[in-house]
Amino acid sequence: DFLKQGHGMLLLYTLKNPSFPEYSFSSESGVMCLDFHSHHPYLLAVGFYDGNVAIYNLKKASSQPSYKSSAKSGKHTEPVWQVKWQKDDMDNNCNFFSVSSDGRIVSWTLVKNELVHMDVIKLSADGSTMQGPEGLQLQTLGSGTSFDFHKKIDYLFLVGTEEGKIYKCSKSYSSQFLDVFEAHNMPVDSISWNPFHLKVFISCSSDWTVKIWDHTIKTPMFVYDLSTAVGDVAWSPYSSTVFAAVTIDGQAHVFDLNINKLEPLCTQLVVTRKKNKTTHIQFNPVYPIIIVGDEQGLITCLKLSPNLRKKPKEKKGQEVKKGPEVEIAKLEKLLSLVREPGSKE
């Protein structure tokens, strides 16, 4: 409830000690999202319910963030739903992006002692039109809920909105977007590019579905109906065809398209309390572990059983190829089955 602002907590745990956090920070407003910097893992970007963003430096023995936005310096007017670090800019300054229900996507750069902000895209909320591709006037109703940047094409990113649309945007055009997908009937809860295949992304929504897309095609390649609202979806870091999703009925689902294109390999109840909902899921980048977060503030850590991470069988005398090319080819083969015949690559 935006009027009854409560305080928030930021807790850092190690898997070795689940009962007590290594670090804990208290904040005036609830913490909505966070992201670790990939090269400077002690830097943590955080987005708050009151629209602020902050950076915590874990090297400093301080309970306050090292940097924080303010009403003067471009804070969002509504909750921040996602923050993501980007590559350092030309001057080697660290920078991250944030998306909020206020329709702004903002880039924040650490310059000396302050956070400098720049609006990258504004999804206008007053129902006005804006120039779309080929001079189309598009109705924009924007309140962003999730976004993701392309792993290789630096300027390209996707934004999911509360209306269920997904916008394909470029960092270089602030008032235009490149394309729009009529993706879901309800808010897009999570969206992410495949870590291996450069064209593919996945989205999930409260409309019960998970959809897999090729960003050059307007209709989804695969659609999964999970019979209840989907809170989050994540690609696995080790296989291009494996992803996991959580639904609000407390279940985690693991799919491998390479083994079964229609059904999850595993569906497991993670939280048992009736009123509790599972809200987030993430793969560990190295170990076969996933973590699931829920509305009661509990985090459950699960290990993937060996049959959920099967590798292709070795044929006698042949080495099984490994590496990104193999992962790309594996997913490409599946996509070629569902692409329309005659549509060019």
3-state secondary structure of 22: coil
pLDDT band, very low/low/confident/very high, at 36 (cuts 50, 70, 90): very high
**Alpha helices, H only, the chain:** 324-338
Candidate from 164-178, 186-200, 307-321 with smallest mean pLDDT: 307-321
Q: Average pLDDT for residues 13-40, to the nearest whole number?
A: 89
Q: So what's the pLDDT on residue 281?
A: 92
One-letter amino acid for residue 74 of the chain: G
Residues 207-234 have a mean pLDDT of 89
Q: Which of 43, 101, 46, 98 is nearest to 74 (CA)?
A: 98
Q: How far apart are the first and last CA of the chain?
A: 47
138 vs 266, residue with greater confidence? 266
Cα separation, 252 vs 299, in Å, equals: 13
Residue carrying structure tokens 């899921």 = 281
- Reported as a single tens digit per residue, the pLDDT across 315-333 is 555 555 667 778 888 888 8
Q: Using CA atoms of 82, 230, 329, 155 in order, give the dihedral in degrees to the nearest 10.
A: -20
Q: What is the pLDDT of residue 345?
A: 47
Nearest in space to 147 (alpha carbons), one of 206, 198, 107? 107
Among 89, 117, 116, 93, residue whose Cα is nearest residue 105: 117
pLDDT tens digits, one per residue of 102-151: 778 888 888 887 888 887 777 754 444 555 555 555 555 567 788 888 88
What local confidence, expressed as pLDDT, does residue 126 receive?
46
**DSSP states along 216-258:** TSSS-SEEEE-SS-EEEEEE-SS-TTEEEEEETTTEEEEEETT
Mean pLDDT on 83-91: 82
pLDDT reported for residue 234: 93
The answer to the question of residue 345 being in a domain is no
Q: What percent of the chain has pLDDT over 70?
A: 87
Residue type at 302 in one-letter notation: L
Q: What is the pLDDT of residue 136?
A: 56
Segment 221-248, tens digit of pLDDT: 889 999 888 989 999 988 888 999 999 8
Helix (H) or strand (E) holding 210: strand 209-214
Q: Quick one: pLDDT at residue 131? A: 57
Q: What is the pLDDT of residues 50-69, one digit of tens each?
A: 888 998 988 887 888 887 88
Residue 174, in any domain of the structure: yes
Q: Give the SS3 label for residue 28.
A: coil
Report yes or no on 165 lying in a domain. yes
Q: Is residue 1 part of a domain?
A: no
- Position 314 scores a pLDDT of 55
Given a cut of 80, whether residue 344 has pLDDT beyond it is: no
3-state helix, strand, coil split of the chain in percent (to 5) is 5, 45, 50
Report pLDDT for 174: 59
CA 311 from centroid of its chain's CA atoms: 26
**pLDDT value of position 2:** 60
Question: Which of 97-106, 212-221, 314-323 shows the lowest per-residue confidence on average (mean pLDDT)?
Answer: 314-323
192 in a structural domain:
yes
Count of domains forming the chain:
1
Would you state the structure tokens that stand for residue 318, as one six-digit string? 């042949």
pLDDT of residue 112: 80
Domain membership flag for residue 227: yes
Is residue 301, in this structure, part of any structural domain at all?
Answer: yes
Residue 344 placed within a domain? no
Place of tokens 């291996």: 196
**Mean of all residue pLDDT scores within the chain:** 82
**Mean pLDDT, residues 32-45 taken together:** 90
CATH number for the domain that contains residue 131? 2.130.10.10
Q: How far apart, in whole angstroms, are the C-alpha atoms of residue 136 and residue 140?
A: 12
The domain of 213 spans 8-339
Strands 80-86 and 209-214 come out as: unpaired
- Per the CB < 8 A criterion, the answer to whether 41 and 23 are in contact is no
